[in-house]
Amino acid sequence: MLGTRSCLAAALAAMLATTASPAQAAPATLVSAGPGILVADGAAVDVPVTFVCDTDPALIIAIPVVQVTQRVSDGRIAGGGGNDQLSCTKQAQTVTIRVVPNVMAFNAGATAASVFLQTCSAQFQCSAVIINTEIMLAKAADAGLPPQT
C-alpha cells in the first residue's frame, strides 16, 4: 500500500511539473512614433503612433502610452504623457496620442520620447514593447497641415 501511494505521489508530482503555466502573450510590433504636432501653442502635442498586433492571434487590446520631455528654456523641462486604448485589428494601426504637459508648454523642436505599447489577450496575458527615441515637434502650419481648432 505504501508503495502504491509513493507511485501515485511521484506521478502527481511529475504531472504538476510538466504542466505548463500560462504563457505570456507575444508582444506586438511597435513600428513608429512621431513627428508631433503642437496644439494651442504648445499646451499639448499630438503624436502619431503606428503599431501592428499580428504577432499573436490572441491579442485583442492595445494600450499605447507616450511620454515626452523637452528642454524648453534656461534648462527648464516640459514633460507630459498621454495614452489610448483600442482593439487590435491584426493590421497596421496608427493612433494619435494627445500628450498634455504637466507644467511648461512644449516648443517646436527636438524632444525625447518614450513609447510603451502594452497588448493583452482576453485572458489578461499581456506583454509590452518600449522604444526610447527622439521626435520632432512642429507647428501644424510648419508641417503642412491646417491649423488645429
Beta partners for residue 45, in sequence order: 38, 99
Which residues 6+ apart lie within 8 Å of 17 measured at CB? Answer: none
Decide: 52 and 28 in contact? Cβ < 8 Å.
yes
Match 518614450 to its residue by C-alpha cell: 114
Cell of 39: 496644439
User: Tell me, what's the pLDDT at 1?
Assistant: 47
| Residue 8 in this model has a pLDDT that exceeds 50 | no
Q: Is 23-138 in CATH node 3.40.50.1460? A: no
- For 148, other C-beta atoms within 10 Å of its C-beta total 12
Question: Can you give the pTM of this predicted structure?
Answer: 0.76
Each domain of the chain, given as residue ranges in start order, spans 23-138
Question: What is the model's pLDDT at position 25?
Answer: 62
Listed in sequence order, the residues at least 6 apart from 21 whose beta carbon sits closer than 8 Å to its beta carbon are none
Give SS3 for 111.
strand
The phi and psi torsions of 67 (rounded to 5 degrees) equal -115, 130
pLDDT in tens, 57-96: 888 999 999 999 999 988 899 999 999 999 999 899 999 9
Q: How far apart are CA 104 and CA 83, in angstroms?
A: 19
* pLDDT tens sequence across 91-113: 999 999 999 999 999 999 999 99
